[in-house]
Amino acid sequence: MRTARRPRAEIRTGTPIREDTMTGTTEPRRATGWTGWVAFCGLMLVLLGLFHAVEGLVAVFDEGYYRVGSSGLSVHMSYTAWGWLHLGLGVVAVVVGIGVLRGGTVAQAAGAVFAAASAVVHLLFIAAYPAWSLVVITIDVLVIYALIVHGKEITIED
């Protein structure tokens, strides 16, 4: 098991130290208010995953639930196919959300990609469930913004 060497100042104070590799200087890492937003994004990704899973199960088992028939959607697929797509997205979102909560850089990139894919899927699915699709797209935009602009504030230092 590989352990990273921590600077003595970090060990004494408990404050993570960031080392600038260009100048060789170190400075305390400052947490901002966006750290909480990135953690919120991780929770939102897990929640979006659960929403996608429920939406997928409804599409698979109760096609009459939605506002229009499958022929009225932007992409003409059966609700069963949409359901499996949503279930798959749900599983991916939960895994990625847990990774974001753990501070993984790869998970943050995957979270931004997932949120973009989720927004596109809900744009295509908007005729079936307009209000819910708009709510999910709004959450997706917030997740993308927080992960791309402020994601580094919660990353794990290797």
Give me the residue label for tokens 């991780």: 42
Q: Give the three-class secondary structure for 26.
A: strand
What's the mean pLDDT in 58-69?
77
User: Hey, where are the domains in the chain?
Assistant: 1-30, 34-154
pLDDT tens digit sequence for 6-26: 554 444 445 555 555 666 666
pTM of the model as a whole: 0.68
| Mean pLDDT value across residues 37-51 | 88
pLDDT average, residue stretch 123-137: 85
* CA angle (154 as vertex; 153, 155 as ends), nearest 5: 100
What is residue 27's three-state secondary structure?
strand
The pLDDT of residue 136 is above 70: yes
**pLDDT given at position 34:** 63
pLDDT at position 29: 57
Place of tokens 């744009």: 123
Token pair, residue 129, equals: 């469930």
C-beta of residue 139 within 8 angstroms of C-beta of residue 44: yes
Residue type, 148: I
Is residue 79 predicted with pLDDT exceeding 60?
Answer: yes
Please tell me the predicted confidence (pLDDT) of residue 119. 92
